[in-house]
């Protein structure tokens, strides 16, 4: 499974749990992984993420960008959370 597939699955599970239980959850990037509601999603080998926390509430997600780097890549990959309902986009 790719990072994108693993992240999508973890994020969708957290959003579903949030809809039923009404609790906020966090997406936290740190080092070689991104944590979605405390579930670890490892980055591909050689990739690192700068620490960033995104709070996901039931009807609101603060806009934020998680940036991930690899030594062999000139530009970072961005995981961009849009304002509002919690949609995100992985920009390469």
* Residue 92, pLDDT score: 83
- Tell the burial category of 87 from Cβ atoms under 10 Å away from its Cβ (0-12, 13-18, 19+): exposed
Residue 74 pLDDT grade (very low, low, confident, very high; cuts 50, 70, 90): confident
Task: List pLDDT tens digits, range 1-50.
Answer: 999 999 999 999 999 998 888 889 999 999 999 999 999 999 999 999 99
Question: Residue 64 has what DSSP assignment?
Answer: E
Task: Give the model's pLDDT for residue 60.
Answer: 83
Give the three-state DSSP class for 14.
helix
- Res 71: pLDDT: 84
Q: What is the mean pLDDT of residues 71-81?
A: 91
With 90 as the cut, is the pLDDT of residue 67 above it? yes
Residue 83 has pLDDT above 80, yes or no: no
The domains of the chain are located at 3-91
């Amino acid at each position: 499974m790719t990072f994108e597939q693993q992240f999508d699955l973890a994020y969708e599970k957290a959003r579903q749990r949030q809809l039923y239980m009404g609790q906020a959850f966090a997406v936290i990037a740190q080092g070689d992984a991104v944590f979605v509601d405390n579930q670890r999603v490892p980055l591909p080998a050689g990739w690192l993420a700068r620490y960033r926390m995104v709070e996901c509430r039931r009807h609101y997600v603060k806009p934020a960008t998680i940036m991930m780097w690899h030594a062999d890549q000139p530009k970072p990959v961005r995981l961009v959370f849009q304002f509002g309902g919690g949609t995100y986009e992985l920009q390469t």
